[in-house]
Amino acid sequence: AQSVTQLGSHVSVSEGALVLLRCNYSSSVPPYLFWYVQYPNQGLQLLLKYTTGATLVKGINGFEAEFKKSETSFHLTKPSAHMSDAAEYFCAVSDRTGGFKTIFGAGTRLFVKA
């Protein structure tokens, strides 16, 4: 069975500071990994995904994430936070062998202080 753990339900950073949102996964088979963002009163939208190849994945709005198999992690980072980054972020995993199911973490709400 697959699962996702996001460390920290709330993270607060100052504008211009580094953003680091942590995600660890559990999977018995090589996973596909995703980060989605949810702005208030909206559905989720994809930030980035790791399927194969380069382990450092770049996404939209300056975000990137690195797949570390040895640590079973897929942490999301952004060098400099902007006020518009305030949202809820979800890490997700799906089974590379099929299953037709994407499993989401509990989410991390990011607050950005002026």
Partner 1 sequence: KAGVTQTPRYLIKTRGQQVTLSCSPISGHRSVSWYQQTPGQGLQFLFEYFSETQRNKGNFPGRFSGRQFSNSRSEMNVSTLELGDSALYLCASSLLGDSNEKLFFGSGTQLSVL
| Residue carrying the six token digits 């972020």 | 89
Q: Which residues contact 104 (CB under 8 A, 6 or more apart)?
A: 4, 36, 90, 91, 92
Smallest gap, in angstroms, from Cβ of residue 109 to partner 1? Answer: 10
- 3-class DSSP assignment, residue 4: strand
Kindly tell me which of 15 and 59 has the beta carbon lying closer to partner 1: 59
Footprint on this chain of partner 1 (rule: CB under 8 A): 6, 9, 32, 34, 36, 41-46, 49, 51, 90, 94-107
Smallest gap, in angstroms, from Cβ of residue 18 to partner 1? Answer: 24
Kindly tell me which of 14 and 58 has the beta carbon lying closer to partner 1: 58
Kindly tell me which of 81 and 103 has the beta carbon lying closer to partner 1: 103
**Nearest-5° Cα angle at 113, 12 to 35:** 50
Smallest gap, in angstroms, from Cβ of residue 94 to partner 1? Answer: 4
Kindly tell me which of 81 and 107 has the beta carbon lying closer to partner 1: 107
Smallest gap, in angstroms, from Cβ of residue 20 to partner 1? Answer: 19
Specify the DSSP element, H or E, that contains 90. Answer: strand 87-95
